[in-house]
Amino acid sequence: MKIALAGNPNSGKTTLFNALTGSTQYVGNWPGVTVEKKDGKLKGHKDVTIQDLPGIYSLSPYTLEEVVTRRYLINETPDAIINIIDGTNLERNLYLTTQLAELGIPMVLAVNMYDIIEKKGDKIDLDQLGQLFGCKAVTLSALKNKGTQEVAEEAIKLAHNHKVSEHPHVFVGSVEHALAHIEESIENKVDASKLRWFAVKVFERDEKVLAELKLDQAVLNEIEGHIADCEKEMDDDSESIITNQRYTFIKNSINKVLTKKNPHQTLST
Ligand code: GDP
Ligand code: MG
Ligand code: K
């Protein structure tokens, strides 16, 4: 079984990876690029490999780290993802979460740095956070080794049950309308579980995904018509529409799940 560790830089990936794998690490490079590749066996589970992924802010195709992570998640499809986030920086960290949740891979959302959150006296409603993002949310203090084993056990459980994360309800009606048309046009080309992720990427006119899908020109024209209609209606380009709606969804979600002891503090510290 393969479990992938995904998250922003500085979210605590290496700390968690070391706690989970101890001294059984293998370090190399991702094929063709000088981006470090690290994997190891989960302590006490010889059959479970933990794959550390490069730290990224988004599944865009713009940096080497993003491309490596995307390729791995799409083509090698781990049995589960542990998405580790810096719980003191929810707004920035949850951006990647909205994208990972579209991949159709079982996922645990591990809210790290929980020791800092507790110290500040803030509260995060984990049940609601999990419901909003369509996955299981747990707390973690990787540095204090609190919750590390539980996160791994949760990921193993989801992988065994093939419990895929549900899509969070991120997009407004006109975007969903275009996505539904795109999904219909490409559903015979991609795994059913990954349909949402591919549809969003096609909507964004992601060149790597479009090249991979090799759609007929007639289909491309029809899809382009739906994207253009949506852009006209929303007076923005498709990539910005998706980005803005992700941030709106995240802000609304944080308002629902985060209770600050001192509400006058800024959102991120
Ligand atoms: P990576 O870039 O995602 O691999 O993050 P690191 O594992 O290198 O962690 C970034 C920094 O956050 C380091 O200084 C860690 O010691 C610290 N850190 C990681 N997890 C925790 C935690 O649960 N609580 C606290 N307070 N600090 C943490
Ligand atoms: Mg690291
Ligand atoms: K790294």
- Tell me the pLDDT tens digit for each residue of 222-243: 999 999 999 999 999 999 999 9
The three-class DSSP label of residue 161 is: helix
CA of 156 to the centre of ligand 2 (A): 22
Long-range contacts: 52-55, Cβ < 8 Å, 24+?
A: 52/5, 52/13, 52/14, 52/17, 53/4, 53/5, 53/6, 53/13, 54/30, 55/7, 55/8, 55/9, 55/10, 55/11, 55/13
Q: How far apart are CA 118 and CA 254, in angstroms?
A: 17
All domains in the chain, ordered by first residue: 2-161 (3.40.50.300), 173-235 (1.10.287.1770)
Residue 136: how many CA atoms within 13 Å on its side-chain side?
21
Looking at residue 236, what is its pLDDT?
A: 98
ipTM associated with this complex: 0.96
User: Which residues are in the CB-under-5-Å shell of ion ligand 2?
Assistant: 13-14
Q: Look over the chain and give the mean of its residue pLDDT values, rounded to a whole number.
A: 94
Q: Positive or negative CA dihedral for 121, 110, 30, 198?
A: negative
Q: How far apart are CA 191 and CA 182, in angstroms?
A: 14
Q: How far apart are CA 139 and CA 257, in angstroms?
A: 13
User: Which residue has the CA at smallest separation from atom 24 of ligand 1?
Assistant: 113
Pocket test for ligand 1, best of 143, 146, 148, 150 (most atoms within 8 A of CB): 143
Average pLDDT in the 2-29 region?
Answer: 92
Q: How far apart are CA 29 and CA 35, in angstroms?
A: 6
Long-range contacts: 18-23, Cβ < 8 Å, 24+?
A: 19/142, 19/145, 19/148, 20/50, 20/148, 20/149, 20/152, 21/50
User: Which residue has the CA at smallest separation from atom 28 of ligand 1?
Assistant: 143
Whether residue 195 has its Cβ less than 6 Å from ligand 1: no
User: Which residue has the CA at smallest separation from atom 10 of ligand 1?
Assistant: 10
The confidence band for 35, taking pLDDT boundaries of 50, 70 and 90, is confident
Q: How far apart are CA 64 and CA 14, in angstroms?
A: 19
Whether residue 220 has its Cβ less than 6 Å from ligand 1: no
Residue 127, Cα to own-chain centre: how many angstroms? 18
User: Which residue has the CA at smallest separation from atom 12 of ligand 1?
Assistant: 12
Looking at residue 139, what is its pLDDT?
A: 98
Whether residue 152 has its Cβ less than 6 Å from ligand 1: no
Whether residue 87 has its Cβ less than 6 Å from ligand 1: no
- Tell me the pLDDT tens digit for each residue of 177-236: 999 999 999 999 999 999 999 999 999 999 999 999 999 999 999 999 999 999 999 999
Looking at residue 135, what is its pLDDT?
A: 94
Residue 3: how many CA atoms within 13 Å on its side-chain side?
30
Q: CB–CB of 83/203 below 8 Å? A: no
CA of 53 to the centre of ligand 3 (A): 7
Contacts of 144 (CB under 8 A, 6+ apart): 115
Task: Give burial (CB, 10 Å; 0-12/13-18/19+) of 215.
Answer: middle
Tell me: pLDDT of 27 over 90: no
Pocket test for ligand 1, best of 5, 15, 84, 141 (most atoms within 8 A of CB): 15
- Tell me the pLDDT tens digit for each residue of 73-101: 999 999 999 999 999 999 999 999 999 99
For residue 142, the ligand 1 atom closest to its alpha carbon is 23
Tell me: pLDDT of 149 over 60: yes
Q: How far apart are CA 59 and CA 79, in angstroms?
A: 19
More confident residue, 153 or 267: 153
